Structure 1
Amino acid sequence: MAAHGRESGRRRTLDTLLLALNLVPFLASCTLYFVLWLPSDQPSWTSALVKCLPILCLALLVHTTAPRRPYCQFIRAGLLCSALGDTFLIWPNQFLFGMAAFALAHLFYLRALGWLPIRLALLGSVAAISGLYFGLLQPHLPSDLWLPVAIYVAILGLMLWRALARGRPAALGGLLFSLSDAILAWDAFIWPLPPGRLIVMVTYYLAQALLALSTMEAGAPKAD
């Protein structure tokens, strides 16, 4: 039994080291993004590539190391849609397309997370907070964005509810994603925040990494 315990411990250590090695491209590309810190008011394909590269690295990580389960496949699809959204958002006049790409990403995450356990109390809390925040945001939105943003907030709220209901790293990932989007909206539409971009990107990359890592768990849920 002692030998079996030592073997299990070595296996866990090796798995941890392997995962750390697999995360190197993501961590390196994140470092590149923050070191270069390309101006957001000078959109270019270089900026788009540097911004979405960490997310593409996470999608590759899930593709190469996660089990072949529906959960993992939907998370990977969400990451790829997020990379597309990152690309669109580099250009301000493509904001609606970027938001649509992220809404699709959340729908993939929602499909991965499933609908059980239901936990209606969590849904009520998330709906109340989302509604309150949208109420603060709505007076500052251009008239043509009111409906698209309302739909996006509803989809994001559903994703957060299901992530919290699932628990594990996905719950923290959902929380950080929601926080990142809330700060982004505040900075863009209500009041500019000097460190807004930094906070948005740190929480965003952490959120996506946690969602990707949720596919590596031994007990990663199958899509319902």
Structure 2
Amino acid sequence: MDILETHAYDRRKKRNMSCALFVSLLPFFLSSALYFYLWTPDSKASLMTAGVKSAPALLLAAAVLSWKGGQSVMGVAGGLLFSAVGDCCLVWPELFLHGMGAFAVAHLLYSLSFLSSRYTAYTSSFTRFLYLILTVFGGGFYIYLFPFLQKAPDSHLLTPGVGIYILLLTLMAALAFRTHHVATLLGSLSFMVSDASLALQVFNVVQPFQYGHIVVMVTYYLAQLLIAVGDVKAEENGDDFSKWKRS
């Protein structure tokens, strides 16, 4: 088999994998569409609401498990399962801390996955610069939130809890950049945008606006999708960040 035949074979293999991956993600797309179709600003907390909201993360976890097997339980699939728990908790405002704790565990599992041998680590001056930007953003955002956290009824729990959560979220994003997988790093950034939007509204930094919930959920589902796709394709693509920068 010459070079041209090998290249054509690789292209067919990647195309077939992309088609199969898209088919396995169809339940996620359908459940996400169902959530936005059913959600209204006056939706009441209920088991049905929790189930519809958490279904996309659960279906993504099932898709990752079908591709990566049980090993992903302690990685991205496990993170998606804990995210589904967090989704359920956040339906009831009184369970906000429980939900934040579930998402904190999810970020830990994502971080463990990004540190695994399936993701090749790359360190450069540009990557270190990105680490610095993420650290400054995370620390600055916590400082900005601090006075609003102090006004919350359960500030003695929220103030340190939010600080730890932001630290874990920033760590997850930094490790995502370390992998140099475009889908993974864009997913981590989308997660940060989603959580920042949610925090600004929950802690009354800004007045809830008309499409505030939509912004939070669209960026959240997009983040989970990109992280899941990045995990499935981690072994296939290698360092695609450098290619993305050159394109």
TM value normalised by structure 1: 0.90
Supply the distance in 2 between the matched residues of 1:132 and 1:83 (Cα, whole angstroms).
Answer: 28
Quick one: distance in 1 between partners of 2:22 and 2:220?
20
Contact 2:28 2:59 in 1 (8 A): yes
Matched to 1:172, the amino acid is: L
Q: Which has the higher contact order (CA 8 A, sep 6+)?
A: 1
Instruction: Report the equivalent of 2:148.
Output: 140
Unaligned runs of 5+ in 2: 240-247
Aligned residue among 180, 185, 200 for 1:167: 180
Match of 2:39 among 16, 37, 49: 37
Separation (CA, whole Å) in 2 of partners of 1:110 and 1:175: 14
> What RMSD, in angstroms, separates the aligned Cα atoms of the two structures?
2.1
Q: Determine the C-alpha separation between the residues in 1 that align with 2:237 and 2:80.
A: 21
Task: Give, in angstroms, the shift of residue 69 of structure 1.
Answer: 5.2
Aligned equivalent of 1:76: 77
Hey, what's the Cα distance between the residues in 2 that align with 1:69 and 1:89?
Answer: 28
Contact 2:85 2:102 in 1 (8 A): yes
Counting matched residue pairs gives 220
Aligned partner letter, 2:162: V
Most deviating of 99-108 and 144-153:
144-153
Tell me the equivalent position of 2:105.
104
Equivalent residue letter for 1:127: T
CA deviation map 1:61-110 (0-9, x unaligned): 0000136656x741111010000000111000000000000000001111
Q: 1:197 aligns with which of 203, 213, 222?
A: 213
Q: Residue 194 of structure 1 aligns to a residue in which SS?
A: coil
Identity of aligned residues (%): 36
Amino acid at match of 1:44: S
Q: Is this contact kept in 1: 2:74–2:109, CA < 8 A?
A: no
Partner secondary structure for residue 66 of structure 1:
helix
Code of the residue aligned with 2:174 in structure 1: it is W
Shift of 1:216: 1.9
Matched residues in 1 for 2:224 and 2:28: separation? 11
**Equivalent-residue separation in structure 2 for 1:124 and 1:6 (angstroms):** 41
Distance 1:164 1:193, change over 3 A: farther
Cα distance between partner residues in 1 of 2:30 and 2:190? 21
Where does structure 1 lack aligned partners over 5 or more consecutive residues? Answer: none
Query: 1:140: Cα distance to partner?
Result: 1.0
> Structure 1 pair 29/139, CA: closer, same or farther in 2 (3 Å)?
same
Q: Post-superposition shift, 1:167?
A: 2.1
TM-score relative to the length of structure 2: 0.82
Give the 3 Å change call, closer, same or farther, for CA 41–136 of structure 1 in structure 2: farther
1:150 aligned onto 2:150 = no
Alignment of 1:130 onto 2:138: yes
- In structure 2, relative to structure 1, the CA distance for the partners of 1:154 and 1:25 (3 Å cut) is same
Are residues 1:206 and 2:222 paired? yes
For 2:194, the aligned partner's letter is S
State whether residues 122 and 180 of structure 2, in contact with CA within 8 Å, keep that contact through their aligned partners in structure 1: no
Runs (4+) of structure 1 exceeding 6 A deviation are none
Compared with structure 1, are the counterparts of its residues 3 and 125 closer, same or farther at alpha carbon in structure 2 (3 Å cutoff)? closer
Q: How does 1:173-192 map to 2 (within 5 A)?
A: 173-189=187-203, 190-191=205-206, 192=208
